[in-house]
Structure 1
Amino acid sequence: MKKLILVLICLFSLQAQAQKVDDKQAVLNLLEKQRADWNKGDVEAYMQGYWKSDSLLFVGKSGPTYGWQKTLDNYKKGYPDKAAMGFLIFGIKKVEFLTKDKAFVLGSWNVKREKDELKGYFTLLLRKINGVWKVVVDHSS
């Protein structure tokens, strides 16, 4: 009986480990898709990685913004065209799962434009909503 229990514990542990690997790849894929959409100049597609809710929280240099639409409007105002958007690079430093459906990401961002370069860091809180990872809090500086 003890051996059976140990085998079951090992199986559940392996399954949980495999799930974490799959979820980490899904989070990284989401961020890569956002980066690629940004570099195409498609801010609407970029925003699909965010939770489409009035409860979405984005914190930037101007303070907190609540809501998906308001965040999109701010992006469009700050980055009105492809030239303003430049070329985005992410440097992912850490992906940590807080629960099975919540993840924390720490990373850097760098936007190269023809005449200048912007850079900073971000922390993200993601939630798995209906089986899909979405950014629910973004603090970028």
Structure 2
Amino acid sequence: MNKLLIILMAIVTVSCSNSTSEKATIMKVMNAQEQAWNDGNVADFMKGYWKSDSLMFVGKKGLKYGWKTTLDNYKKSYPDKAAMGKLEFEVIKLEVNGSSAFMLGKWSLIREKDNPNGYFDLYWKKIDGNWVITIDHTS
């Protein structure tokens, strides 16, 4: 009985530490995206997304598919650094389950003329050893 309890505790401990490590890795991606945006570098910001035609982005214009479509939409909506402003993310919840994760958070832009903000929920997958956003719903 004691051996079984020790084995179960070891499994739980390893699972929790793996989850913590995965969360930290995902947060590094988010921080890199925030920095890239604030540097005016949309291409580097997009490194956090799955480079696939199956990437899903849901925003005020509805559902759009594809990494290139998402990149083009960002470039059209934010043509220069002034339009991009300073981005800040606030993660409210991050849950990791194996090779997938769910994130809920707030975003805000600080710009000269206005300060738009909203919420996002992101579905992440670990693909080829890298955590990437596969579904982005931003409002």
**Band the TM-score falls in, shorter-chain normalisation:** over 0.9
State the alpha-carbon separation in 2 of the partners of residues 124 and 91 from structure 1.
13
Partner of 2:9: 10
Correspondence 1:77 to 2:98: no
In structure 2, how many angstroms separate the alpha carbons of the residues matched to 1:65 and 1:111? 22
The sequence identity of aligned pairs, in percent, is 45
Report the CA distance between 1:43 and its aligned residue.
Answer: 0.3
> Residue 128 of structure 1: which of 126, 129, 132 is its match?
126
What secondary structure sits across from 2:3 in the alignment?
helix
Which residue is 1:54 aligned to? 53
Map of 2:66 onto structure 1: 67
Return the offset for 1:91: 1.1
Which ranges in structure 1 are unaligned for 5 or more consecutive residues? none
Distance 1:116 1:3 in 2: 62
Structure 1 runs of 4+ with >3 Å offset: none
Displacement of 1:3: 2.1
Structure 2: gaps spanning 5 or more residues: none
**1:138 aligned to 102, 120, 136, which one?**
136
Match of 1:43 in 2: 42
The two structures, once aligned, show a CA RMSD in angstroms of 0.8
Q: Take 1:64 and 1:132, find their aligned partners in 2: how far apart are those partners?
A: 24
- Tell me the SS of whatever aligns to 2:51: coil
Q: Distance in 2 between matches of 1:91 and 1:5?
A: 41
Structure 2 Cα separation of the partners of residues 44 and 132 of structure 1: 17
Count of matched residue pairs: 139
CA distance in 1, matches of 2:125, 2:44: 19
Q: How far off its partner does 1:114 sit?
A: 1.0
> Matches of 2:19 and 2:75 in 1, distance apart?
34
